[in-house]
Structure 1
Amino acid sequence: MSGLQQRDCENEKAALLEAGGVGLDADRNRSKKSSRFSVYRILAIVLLFIYLPRLLLPAKTVQERGTHAAAFATFPHPVNASYPPVPHTALAPLAPWKPCPGHEHEGFQCSYVRVPKDYFDKSKGYAYVAVSKYPATARGKDFRGAIYLNPGGPGGSGVKFSYRFAQTLSILLKGRYHVIGFDPRGIGATRPLVDCFGSTRAFQLFKAGTALERAFDVAPDTFSDEGRQTLLRQWTEAQALKHAEMEVCNKTMGDELRYMGTATVVRDISYINFEGGLGEGHPINFVGYSYGTILGAYLVNMLPASSLGHVVIDGVASAPGWSHMPPERWLPSGWMIDTEKAYDWLIKECSEAGPSACAVAKEQGEEPQKITDRLMAFFDELYHQPLAVPYGPRPGMLTSGIARAMLYLTTNQPSLFPTVASFLADAMAGNGTQLYYLAIQPLSTDPEAKSQMDLSRVAVSCGDSPPYEDPEAGNWPKPSPELLVNITLDNFEKFTPHFAASAPSIEPDGGCEWHPASGRTPERFTGPWNNTLDVPMLVISNTADPITPRSSGEEIHKLMGNSSGLLIVNTPGHCSLAGVSRCSFQTLQDYFLEDKLPAEGKVCERDEGIFGLALAGKVGETMSVEEEGGDDLLMLAQTASRQWAEHRLASSD
């Protein structure tokens, strides 16, 4: 494809669906393959996703060159190409659009939007928000404005996510919207960037081999004295390291960290859409996943209804909980209530698939509990004797905590389970190399690489959460290691007996008692959460989401009342894109193109199981060419699910 003027939506769709640009032809025949072939194919794809981003990451990223020099810096992309400098004119908030470099990104345009650093004190200067645009093909009355994407985190790059997902979304919505990726404050190519340690490598070395890099070990008897002491030792280490982290950030970043909270990002979106002109006179449209649902809930409740168009939040976290509790309270407040449901789903399908597809099964149809018993026994063995990993770029040891955390990861992204099951089986046979390197990343060899995603995340979560020991904000006590142990054990007992200590390795919050942004952001939004909207928002939750449960989607739907519609997708995994559902894509299309909400109580089923096979009774319904758009919708759903998995793996690098 070339530029906007030369693209045609139907030709583009044909190219995507038929030329195999995103691998859809393979999916068309997937149901005809054997389960053995499917698992090997999935393994190859996942390994490609794991290692390809490392090969494509740029050799250099942006370097700070003065107060506002980042506005003219190289735009980072997953290719070795530079983005032309884009100096701002004296008044224009939007720098000139330039083609995004790299042939795989043809059709995208990139720029910066200059925004007030502090919307309540213009003397603080500017921030520069990196944006990408996949332009609409529609014109005139068919054009509906811009959709802003947020992939979650916080800390995820919306620009990079758009490179994967924008074309798929544009095709689904018939080219009627610009699809805008943006990097929120402190993240990706936006400046100022959260850069506490000076380089990615320096931050990696700080964490290497510590409790901040490896996941927590859990004693065989979690609630014994030994179990408590094991957790206490690790929480004590983690807290000391968090304290050091925050002191480094305070020294190197200082007040810059005050301007990265979610409320400020909401004002950025409004500024970009209206003052920046990206909406071209239309209201704000938004699609947010995971943490992006927090941003979406803030968006629809902070801004007037007249500023808002279509808003979708998918994989819903509790915005009231996020804003009213400190981060260490989020997971045990009920966020993991569906974790075991997701895990049980994986193990059940593993049993049904048998050892030819699921390597940790002994026989097809065996009791799922037997699979769990073997896995937990292996984790207990690793607790007493970690497995040496002498090969690869970072030799080390496979610990119980790492192995357990990688199993927990599959509850978030079930498409990884066939591969992780194979790695687990290898480790149980004495070779832990592949499972270890799924968790432990090679050290960066580029001293100028800046990415410190965990610290970008903490700048947001600490800025949003209430300050400690403040009677007007809940009077929350500062978390001692002993308190964190009690909270973890409570989560084990009430919600997830297998993974309560694993989630913090994937959700690396905490340390806010030392963070320079805590209690010092220009604005901290805490509700209310019941704004009346001109266009009701669409809320999507899974039946078995291990970290953002169905109950959180139901919570915001109840609070918003008639200003929202709720869709439930009957699948395990984090966000609806963790599964493949033609029905959910049809609902998304109907919402954006027909202003149609799902009927109350609507549930969408999956079209594929975890092991890549079409589900019995679904193929005829979803692959029928007689039903207009049916074939295309299913293949777009398959593509989007794969793009979501790719994005999440690349983000963990």
Structure 2
Amino acid sequence: MSDPSLQPLLGHDRQPRVRQCSRQAKLLLALAVGAAAVGAVALTVVFAQHVFADRSSGEAIMWKPCDSKFLCGTLSVPLDYAVADGERMDIALIKYPHDKGTKSLGSLLLNPGGPGGSGVHFVKTMGHQLWDIVEGRYDIIGFDPRGVGQSHAIRCFPDALTHRAFAASEPSPFGKSKAAFIAHQRVRGMMCAKHAADIAPYVSTAAVARDMDLIREAEGNQFLNYWGFSYGTLLGNTYINMFPDKVGHMVIDGVVDPVVWGEGRFDWLDPRTGTVPSLVHKDQVVAAFAAECEKAGPARCALADKPGSVSARIAALRAKLEKQPISVVDSKVPGIITARTLDDTMFRATYDPEQWPRVAEVLAAADRGDGVPLRNWVEQPPADLCPAQDDAEDWNIQSVLAIVCANTRPDYTGREDELEREMSRVATQHPLGYASAASLQVGCTYWPIRAVETFAGPWNATTKSTVLVLANTLDPVTPVESARIAHSLLGNARIVETEAYGHCSYAQRSSCQEKVVRDFFVDGVAPNEDTTRCAADVPSPFRTAGVSALRAWRTKR
């Protein structure tokens, strides 16, 4: 895996592990949370009435201690909700119990996004921090959605080593290797048809929403309380519109535009604008990195140690790397630093402004000719050199495609020349986000498995309980415009717009926003105003000291 590290939606600092997806695929996982447009698509048939076989009511989650703080369990759910008495599958769950000294407000179900993020790992890593926000009044519950992690993860290869070798051979989607990249994605689709056809048709977002309702029922809750991040907002929005009478306190945070998802237009060019809508603020965030660095000065930003524009310095470094990559021997994984490495580093930095000081340090070192810090930043050696299976806690491109391609069905078959031209246009418009967009569009073009059910809207349910919509004004992949669309469609919703950089509400801490969330979950009080405006406590990321645990979880993978 020679390309620079590419960042999924929610990542965290931890011991390095085997990377079973390509570096372009990792950036795909990051961008998979954004909404975009357009390609010719063929949507899977939707079961319009949502009337399915009788669910096995009375199923219980058998919770058992799995750590000093957590309980773990599984819930048996139908593999296919349309088939009475059919096959079943187990959904893996974890619980961080409520404070026994307080009155419980029920369960709060979480989804970290992705798609393909492990809710079990999310709660193990971040459960206590979220528990603190709601003052310990809820049982915090995470789950691995079907087809993800410990819930029958999609596996398209006979073993992890074969998958790893295949991923390492992935051609670049840039330049003259586009045709080879397309062919490589076609092979992935064929392998998934060969090895994953027993599970992949049943892992759509609609099916996961049904599982969420069974989790609610199994926990004895009349209504579902939920906090979903990024793709988790799409999952939440799907639940809201499929089960409006079961909605409790629900927060959707870093919002995917449900309309473009429902129409099958996802992470590609909008022919009306010539841009990828999910990336509309990406360049602004990159520019803000440079501007905030200049304002902070050399004491707080390493790239400000020379006179002149930081933006110009980064551009000059990129031009230098384009002509002469840096060979790196003394890093943990020897390799090279290229212009693409810089692009990918800047893109991942847009997600998490808390990391901007460190990003400035590694780029300044590269500008001096020392590529070791940047190489170590983007590439870590695997912890397990001989994995038997893909890691259940890691992000899995196979699961991502199974979920995304259920709704996104571009059709370039037999029109590969046109697809290559589209790829070139996206690469020109959005060089930092292009690799992930190409992986989704090409991957779904050659994804051969049809979902048995999808939900394509409508997205305008009116719920008895208010839905809280959270957005940062400069989110690089789920723009505030998407949150406004979701808010405008829902019949009973409030939106909180926080003047902040980064992906999802806690990219930069805002006491104003946190109080709104706390009051919503704990007191059941939504804002009076339709739109609440907040700001980051410390506007400049270069003036923050340290990284909170929640934001550290999202830093690197």
Q: What is the TM-score when the length of structure 2 is the normalising length?
A: 0.83
Instruction: State the one-letter code of the partner of 2:167.
Output: K
Distance in structure 2 (CA, Å) of the matches to 1:198 and 1:541: 41
* Greater helix share, structure number: 1
Shift of 1:374: 1.8
Residue in 2 that maps onto 1:402: 341
Equivalent residue in structure 1 for 2:196, among 219, 233, 253: 253
Partners in 2 of 1:338 and 1:173 — Cα distance?
31
Deviation of 1:407 after TM superposition, in Å, equals 1.0
Superposed, which structure 2 residues align to 1:146-545 within 5 Å?
146-190=107-151, 192-208=152-168, 210-211=170-171, 231-274=174-217, 277-278=218-219, 280-303=220-243, 305-329=244-268, 332-363=275-306, 370-392=309-331, 394-443=333-382, 444-451=384-391, 453-465=396-408, 467-468=409-410, 480=416, 482-486=418-422, 489=425, 492-493=428-429, 496=430, 499-501=432-434, 504=437, 510-517=442-449, 520-545=450-475
**1:102-157 per-position Cα deviation (integer Å, ceiling 9, x unaligned):** xxxx22100111110110014541111110011123689x4322111011100111
Which residues of 2 match residues 84-99 of structure 1 at below 5 A?
Answer: 93-99=59-65
Q: What is the rounded CA distance, in whole Å, between the counterparts of 1:177 and 1:479 in structure 2?
A: 52
Cα root mean square deviation, aligned: 2.9
Residue 282 to residue 550, structure 1, CA distance change in 2 (3 Å)? same
Q: What are the superposed Cα offsets for residues 382-418 of structure 1, whole Å, 9 maximum, x if unpaired? A: 2222221223454222221122111111111111111
Residues of 2 paired with 1:419 and 1:132: CA distance? 33
Residue 645 of structure 1: aligned partner: 552
User: SS in structure 2 opposite 1:317?
Assistant: coil
The answer to whether the Cα contact below 8 Å between 2:330 and 2:372 also exists between their aligned partners in 1 is yes
Contact map agreement 1:255 1:516 (CA 8 A) in 2:
no
SS at match of 1:185: coil
Q: Matched residue of 2:14: which SS?
A: helix
2 CA distance for matches of 1:569 and 1:478?
45
Contact 2:129 2:550 in 1 (8 A): no
Contact map agreement 1:571 1:605 (CA 8 A) in 2: yes
Pair 604,128 (structure 1): closer, same or farther in 2 beyond 3 Å: same
Paired with 1:423 and 1:508, the residues of 2 have a C-alpha distance of 30
**Cα distance in 2 between the residues matched to 1:524 and 1:488:** 30
* Residue 585 (1) aligns with residue 483 (2): no
Alpha carbons of structure 1 residues 594 and 610: separation in structure 2 relative to 1, 3 Å = same
Q: For residues 284 and 352 of structure 2, what CA distance do their matches in structure 1 show?
A: 14
Contact persistence 2:496–2:531 (CA under 8 A): yes
SS in 1 for 2:531: coil
2:73 to 111, 114, 127: 111
Determine helix, strand or coil for the equivalent of 1:335: helix
Q: Cα distance 1:479–1:177, how it changes in 2: closer, same or farther (>3 A)?
A: farther
Instruction: Tell me: CA distance 1:93–1:441, structure 2 relative to 1, closer, same or farther (3 Å).
Output: farther
Q: Distance in 2 between the 1:421 and 1:610 partners?
A: 14
CA distance in 2, matches of 1:302, 1:93: 21
User: Separation in 1 of the partners of 2:57 and 2:326?
Assistant: 60
Aligned equivalents of 1:478, 1:577: Cα separation in 2: 44
Between structure 1 and structure 2, the one with the greater Rg is 1
| TM superposition shift of 1:445 | 1.2
How far off its partner does 1:543 sit? 0.6
Q: 1:446 to 1:461 in 2, by over 3 A?
A: same
Equivalent residue of 1:53, what SS? coil
Out of 406-415 and 166-175, give the one that drifted further. Answer: 166-175
| 1:280-339 deviation digits (Å, cap 9, x = unpaired) | 233111101111111111110111x32110110111111111221344527844111111
**Aligned pair 1:549/2:479, yes or no?**
yes
Aligned to 2:538: 608
Contact 2:471–2:479 (CA under 8 A) maintained in structure 1: yes
The verdict on how the C-alpha distance between 1:55 and 1:322 changes in structure 2, with shifts beyond 3 A counting, is closer
**Contact 2:237 2:459 survives alignment (8 Å):** yes
Q: How many correspondences in the alignment?
A: 502
Distance 1:257 1:320, change over 3 A: same
Structure 1 residues 408 and 55: CA distance shift in structure 2, 3 A? closer
C-alpha separation in 2, matches of 1:591 and 1:93: 30
Give, in whole Å, the separation in 2 of the partners of 1:424 and 1:482. 37
Contact in 2 for aligned 1:404/1:502 (Cα 8 Å): no
- Distance in 2 between residues matched to 1:119 and 1:379, nearest whole Å: 52
**Mind listing any 5+ residue stretches in structure 2 that lack a counterpart?**
1-10, 20-55
Task: Tell me which amino acid in the other structure corresponds to 2:221.
Answer: G
Q: 1:479 to 1:150 in 2, by over 3 A?
A: farther
The answer (yes or no) to whether the contact 1:129–1:182 under 8 Å persists in 2 is yes
CA shift in 2, pair 1:237/1:486, >3 Å: same
The structural deviation recorded for 1:501 is: 2.8
SS state of the match for residue 360, structure 1? helix
Relative to structure 2, which stretch is displaced further, 242-251 or 434-443?
Answer: 434-443
Partners of 1:601 and 1:400 in 2: CA distance: 41
Aligned-partner residue type, residue 231 of structure 2: Y
Aligned-residue offset at 1:188: 1.3
Task: Return the letter of the residue paired with 1:257.
Answer: A
Aligned-residue identity in percent: 29
Q: Distance in 2 between matches of 1:611 and 1:567?
A: 21
Bigger RCO of structures 1 and 2 (CA < 8 A, at least 6 apart): 2
1:26: which partner in 2? none
1:49-64 to 2 correspondence within 5 Å? 52-54=14-16
Is residue 333–residue 375 contact of structure 2 (8 Å, CA) maintained in 1?
no
